[in-house]
């Protein structure tokens, strides 16, 4: 993923310094940085600068109105004893650990169902994809809340089968399943990516396996899974990182409070409340940095372990 661009033109000029070539290289360097300017400015002013200052702020007490006061590691040690913080970590981990695999399993299953030369594939693909486009919006959060509310259609539908759960929204043990359903509902985006990956798998592999008498399970384990593993890896990484950052739906469904009983107090929601409601900017910065570190470690673990199960074409397996 972090492959550097190929520097093919460079090799020819290394033998003897030619004035024209070097002039061109100088002009290229100037042009390069000129064209890069929009991104570079944004990178420095909106990413690197703020990252450094939030790291600094995370060691201070700052409320936006008085100068930041250096307090060392206090924010971090307080975090570890902050029950609401620990709860937000639990809620978010629950959501990531159960929601993401379920979503990807649904995406893969339906991609495999659709991966055939049947009519209507374009229609199905679009229909399944649609929720991904609107799922994170405020509108859908409102609809979700209404659907899973007391005597909403979900409650009524379940009562029909004799399951009386009442409204999910007000029940602390049902809000997580509700949020997970909301993310699983948006399986369409990874599904479309899986589908593109499945189409790249040569059909003769399956034919050969059939001749050898392999059943669907063997075919899936020995052909589909390894051939698709780079796509699975990509989806898993992106969806996991994405899941950590859920905000709008949690905010709307819980009226910006993370309730009931803190059951929807997602990490980013708690960060927002601390930073922009209590104006404890230093504390919120410490939370933000912890998130960066955790996501960084998870990314690293993903990349490290990927060597054992992700096969890129050209690899000797």
Partner 1 sequence: MTTMATPTQPQPTKPNAPAPVYNPKSESTAVKRIKSTIFHVVALALVAMVLYPAIWMISASFKPNSEIGGANNALWSNNFSFDNFVTAMDGIGGVSTLTFFTNSLILAVGAVVGTVLSASISAYAFARINFPGRGLFFGMMIATLLLPFHVVIIPQYIVFQQLGLVDTYVPLLIGKFLAADAFFVFLMVQFMRGLPAELDEAARIDGAGHVRIFGSIMLPLMKPALISTSIFSFIWSWNDFLGPLLYLNTPEKYPLPLALRLFVDQTQSSDYGAMIAMSVLALLPVLVFFLVFQRYIVEGVSTQGLKG
Which residues inside 60-89 make contact with partner 1, applying CB under 8 A? 64
User: Using the rule CB under 8 A, which residue among 76, 124, 220, 225 binds partner 1?
Assistant: 124
User: Using the rule CB under 8 A, which residue among 73, 133, 221, 261 binds partner 1?
Assistant: 133
C-alpha to C-alpha distance for 37 and 112, rounded to whole angstroms: 44
| Residue the block writes with tokens 């003769």 | 204
Does position 277 bind partner 1 by CB under 8 A? no
Least spacing, CB of residue 165 vs partner 1, in Å = 15
H helical segments located in the chain: 19-42, 49-57, 74-81, 83-94, 100-114, 121-134, 138-147, 153-160, 175-185, 188-199, 203-211, 216-219, 225-244, 248-253, 267-276, 281-309
Q: Burial of 78 by CB count in 10 Å (0-12 exposed, 13-18 middle, 19+ buried)?
A: middle
Which of the ranges 1-9, 83-91, 94-102, 205-213 carries the binding residues for partner 1, by CB under 8 A? 1-9
Does position 308 bind partner 1 by CB under 8 A? no
Does position 138 bind partner 1 by CB under 8 A? yes
| Residue the block writes with tokens 């396996």 | 209
Does position 265 bind partner 1 by CB under 8 A? no
Q: Which is nearer to partner 1, 153 or 172 (CB)?
A: 153
User: Using the rule CB under 8 A, which residue among 76, 98, 129, 206 binds partner 1?
Assistant: 129
User: Using the rule CB under 8 A, which residue among 47, 173, 277, 305 binds partner 1?
Assistant: 47
Residues 156-185 interacting with partner 1 (rule: CB under 8 A): 156, 185
Least spacing, CB of residue 98 vs partner 1, in Å = 20
C-alpha to C-alpha distance for 276 and 137, rounded to whole angstroms: 21
What DSSP character marks residue 58? T
Does position 42 bind partner 1 by CB under 8 A? yes
* Residue 192 burial (CB count, 10 A): 18
Which of the ranges 6-14, 76-84, 91-99, 219-227 carries the binding residues for partner 1, by CB under 8 A? 6-14
Does position 105 bind partner 1 by CB under 8 A? no
- Cβ neighbors of 173 (< 8 A, separation 6 or more) are 263
In which region does residue 280 sit, left (phi positive, over 0), alpha (psi from -120 to 50) or beta (all else)?
beta
User: Using the rule CB under 8 A, which residue among 21, 50, 165, 219 binds partner 1?
Assistant: 50
């Amino acid at each position: 993923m972090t492959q550097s661009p190929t520097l093919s033109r460079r090799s020819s000029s290394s033998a003897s310094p030619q004035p024209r070539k070097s002039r061109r290289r100088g002009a290229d360097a100037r042009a390069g940085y000129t064209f890069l300017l929009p991104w570079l400015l944004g990178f420095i002013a909106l990413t690197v600068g703020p990252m450094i200052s939030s790291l600094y702020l995370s060691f201070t007490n700052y409320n936006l109105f008085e100068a930041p006061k250096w307090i060392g590691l206090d924010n971090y040690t307080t975090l570890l004893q902050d029950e609401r913080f620990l709860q937000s970590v639990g809620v978010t981990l629950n959501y990531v650990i159960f929601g993401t695999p379920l979503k990807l399993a649904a995406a893969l299953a339906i991609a495999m169902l659709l991966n055939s030369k049947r009519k209507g594939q374009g229609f199905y693909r679009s229909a399944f994809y649609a929720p991904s486009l609107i799922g994170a919006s405020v509108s859908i959060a409102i609809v979700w809340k209404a659907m899973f509310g007391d005597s909403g259609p979900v409650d009524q539908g379940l009562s029909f089968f004799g399951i009386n759960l009442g409204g999910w929204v007000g029940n602390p043990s049902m809000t997580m399943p509700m949020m997970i359903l909301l993310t699983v509902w948006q399986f369409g985006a990874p599904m479309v990516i899986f589908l593109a990956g499945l189409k790249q798998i040569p059909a003769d592999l399956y034919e050969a396996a059939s001749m050898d008498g392999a059943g669907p399970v063997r075919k899936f384990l020995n052909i589909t899974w390894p051939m698709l593993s780079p796509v699975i890896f990509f989806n898993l990484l992106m969806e996991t990182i994405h899941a950590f950052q859920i905000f709008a739906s949690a905010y709307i469904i819980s009226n910006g409070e993370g309730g009931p009983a803190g059951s929807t107090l997602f990490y980013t929601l708690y960060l927002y409340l601390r930073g922009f409601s209590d104006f404890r900017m230093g504390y919120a910065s410490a939370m933000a940095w912890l998130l960066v570190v955790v996501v960084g470690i998870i990314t690293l673990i993903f990349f490290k372990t990927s060597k054992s199960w992700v096969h890129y074409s050209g690899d000797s397996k």
